[in-house]
Amino acid sequence: MDIALLSLSSCLGCQMVFLSLEEYLYELIGGNRVVYAPFLMDKKELHHADLALVEGTVRNTEHFLKAREIREKADRVVALGTCSCFGGVQGLADLYPESRLLRSRFGDTAFEGGPQGVRRLLPLDSFIRVDAYLPGCPPVPALLEGFLRSAVSGDRLSREGATVCAECKVTSPPLPQPGPRRLTEGSGEPGKCLLDSGFFCLGPLTRDGCGALCPSGMGVPCRGCRGPSGRVLERKGADVEGETVRRLARATGKKEEEIRAEVPDPAHTYYFFCLAEPLLRKRRSGGTSPYLHRLGE
């Protein structure tokens, strides 16, 4: 099988995971050919690929043309990483007008001659048809290995997902707990649920597959890097912000308004990795549309 790796606007972190595959990497390149991977090898042109893994988002016209080209030349296109699946951290760009972003990055110097930027940052499937998604920032090596194994053998590229809490090996502490708090304001007891300890943990709303490495092993609250769970994505009534606030109110014994008042940056707190996802935009309650910068304003 011919495999192509392509990055659009990205940090290359997802391709870096290929180097962490260890023994499986040899197995992969032994039985298959990597035909195009500008990050790993010197190859300028792509002719045809059976499987193309695309990471990053479409940020300007150059990226869009590149994405369209790979769609034409590849049989199966996979969105690799949270950026191309849900917009990722780059989705936060839509919190501000483009002129302000350019000014803060390049100062008052005129920005001319470069490719034209897209007006709205969106996941890859808003621009081209995508056959499968592998979210993660970056996806853990075991997950990528499992995905590549089923991709190479031609299996169906999806797995039944749950939430990070389903994989988290913790127990609930006695309530109420102090909070709401962040990691800079104290650390949780090892082996105890961080959300019930008063931390902003997005485990209940995030897709599993990472093995709950951060909350379970390191004591770091989940930021939602694997993107929204199936329930959040599918149900129009699911409200990421509301559910987290409700659970924190229960854990800390405070009112919901008090919790909301202590969050100065709701978009960064609740939608750090999925602000750009169009499916989360319009909701009966919650949703990302209040945070997105209105075009033309």
With respect to another protein, which residue has the nearer C-beta, 190 or 237? 237
Part in contact with another protein (CB under 8 A); list of ranges 30-38, 67-75, 108-116, 130-138: 130-138
Q: How far is the CB of 132 from another protein (least distance, A)?
A: 5
Q: What is the DSSP string of 158-224?
A: -----BHHHH---BPPPSP-S-SB-GGG--PPTTB-TTTTTB---GGGBB--S-SIIIIII------
Contacts of 115 (CB under 8 A, 6+ apart): 60, 61, 62
Residue 74 has phi, psi (to 5 degrees) of -110, 145
Q: Give, to the nearest 10 degrees, the angle between helix 141-153 and helix 23-31.
A: 20
With respect to another protein, which residue has the nearer C-beta, 60 or 150? 150
Q: Cα(86)–Cα(224) distance, rounded to whole angstroms?
A: 11
The CB density around residue 171, as the number of other CB atoms within 10 Å, is: 10
With respect to another protein, which residue has the nearer C-beta, 101 or 279? 279
Is residue 19 within 8 Å of residue 25, measured between CB atoms? yes
Q: Cα(44)–Cα(49) distance, rounded to whole angstroms?
A: 14
Among 49, 54, 85, 276, binds another protein (CB under 8 A): 85
The whole-angstrom distance between residue 12's C-alpha and the CA centroid of its chain comes to: 14
How many residues line the site for another protein (CB under 8 A)? 44
**What is the pattern of x (binds another protein, CB under 8 A) and - over residues 9-38?**
------------------------------
**What is the pattern of x (binds another protein, CB under 8 A) and - over residues 157-196?**
xxx-xxx-xxxx-xxx--------------------x-xx
DSSP state of 293: P
3-state secondary structure (DSSP) of residue 247: helix
Q: How far is the CB of 117 from another protein (least distance, A)?
A: 25
Q: Does residue 281 belong to the site contacting another protein (CB under 8 A)?
A: no
Q: Cα(239)–Cα(197) distance, rounded to whole angstroms?
A: 21
Among 106, 235, 256, 289, binds another protein (CB under 8 A): 235
Q: Cα(197)–Cα(202) distance, rounded to whole angstroms?
A: 13
With respect to another protein, which residue has the nearer C-beta, 188 or 209? 209
Among 2, 27, 50, 125, binds another protein (CB under 8 A): 125
Lookup: tokens for 252: 């800390």
Q: Does residue 204 belong to the site contacting another protein (CB under 8 A)?
A: yes
DSSP state of 270: H
With respect to another protein, which residue has the nearer C-beta, 21 or 102? 21
Among 18, 147, 271, 273, binds another protein (CB under 8 A): 147
- 115 upstream amide cis, omega within 30 of 0: no
Q: How far is the CB of 1 from another protein (least distance, A)?
A: 17
Part in contact with another protein (CB under 8 A); list of ranges 17-25, 51-59, 113-121, 203-211: 203-211
With respect to another protein, which residue has the nearer C-beta, 117 or 222? 222
What is the radius of gyration, based on Cα positions, of the chain? Answer: 20
Q: Does residue 61 belong to the site contacting another protein (CB under 8 A)?
A: no
Q: Which residues bind another protein (CB under 8 A)?
A: 85, 125, 130-135, 143, 146-147, 150, 157-159, 161-163, 165-168, 170-172, 193, 195-196, 203-204, 207, 209, 227, 230-231, 233-237, 247, 250, 279, 284
